[in-house]
Amino acid sequence: MKKPITLILALLAFQTVDAQNLSMYQEQQFMYQTDIFLYRILYPEGFDVNKKYPVLLFLHGSGERGSDNTKQLIHGGVLMAKDSTIRENHAVVVFPQCPDKGYWASVIRDFDSTGKKTFDFRPGEKPTPAMAMLMKLIDTLKKEPWADRERFYLGGLSMGAMGTYELLHRMPHFFAAAFAICGGAEVSIAKSFATDVPLWIFHGTDDQVVSPSFSVNMAETIRNLGGQPRLNLYEGVGHDAWTPAFAEPGLFPWLFSQQRK
């Protein structure tokens, strides 16, 4: 089966990015019983296990699934390694990788009569194997002596944004703030985090993969529940809303200004 042109272009672009910055991410394996879960972790300069550091977890999209422990860095890896706000906050950055046929969120994916993708979210079902391993990894990270449990942050794009919403639902009262790019979820789960977790949502108005209505409906639901989400809709932008989202100068300053109360 041939790889989609967009993935080929992404991989070619990935091969030409600043390899030095990507090499700063250490390759790690998390093991639970007989299962292995891959992730990359970036420690701040001068890392001291006796100090406390905020932690940012970023969930990639479906095109970056695999077992190479590398592709998940394609979108955001270089940016986060170089970002001044992340450096100033001495944050630890974690990029887990979802296995090839896995999925972060519990959702049935199909196509309608016109050929457009459909998503039937099932947050009430047990976590997917990838989500279950991710939650176990987080449980391990939060017990590290250097982890500031009041400053765990979460973000994701596309499939990763779907995972972001579901993780906020499955781990209430844990994350200090989150951002979701071109994702979606069953809006009923918003009650788990609407007034508890500051959230910034991004989507392109011309997204033909994941409808922008998912983001609009989520933002409206959160507001109706008393929350104050931020919502950026990029006119004329397709599914790659992560490009303008990552270019937002206020994203990381806003994120790291949040703290669990």
3-state secondary structure 132-156: HHHHHHHHHHCCCCCEEEEEEEEEE
Secondary structure class of 172 (helix, strand, coil)? coil
pTM assigned to the model: 0.92
pLDDT of residue 21: 80
**Of all helices (H) and strands (E), which one includes residue 15?**
helix 5-16
pLDDT band at residue 1, thresholds of 50, 70 and 90? very low
Domains and CATH numbers, the chain: 18-256 (3.40.50.1820)
Q: Would you say 55 and 13 are in contact if contact means Cβ atoms under 8 Å apart? A: no
Q: Would you say 165 and 189 are in contact if contact means Cβ atoms under 8 Å apart? A: yes
Cα–Cα distance between 195 and 40 in angstroms, integer? 31
pLDDT of residue 154: 98
Torsion of CA 54, 255, 27, 247, to 10 degrees: -150
pLDDT above 60: residue 158: yes
Burial pattern 69-103, b for ≥16 Cβ within 10 A else e, equals bbbbbbbbbbebbebebbeebbbbbbbbbbbeebb
Q: What angle do CA 81, 198, 227 make, to 5 degrees?
A: 160
What whole-number percentage of the chain has pLDDT above 90? 88
Cα–Cα distance between 162 and 164 in angstroms, integer? 5
* Sequence-separated (6 or more) residues with CB below 8 Å from residue 197: 168, 175, 176, 177, 178
DSSP strand E in the chain: where? 26-32, 35-42, 53-59, 92-96, 107-111, 117-121, 147-157, 177-181, 199-204, 230-234
pLDDT band at residue 14, thresholds of 50, 70 and 90? very low
Q: Would you say 94 and 77 are in contact if contact means Cβ atoms under 8 Å apart? A: no
Cα–Cα distance between 112 and 222 in angstroms, integer? 28
pLDDT of residue 19: 64
For residue 113, count CB atoms less than 10 angstroms from its CB and return exposed for 0-12, middle for 13-18, buried for 19 or more. exposed
Mean pLDDT in residue range 217-232 = 98
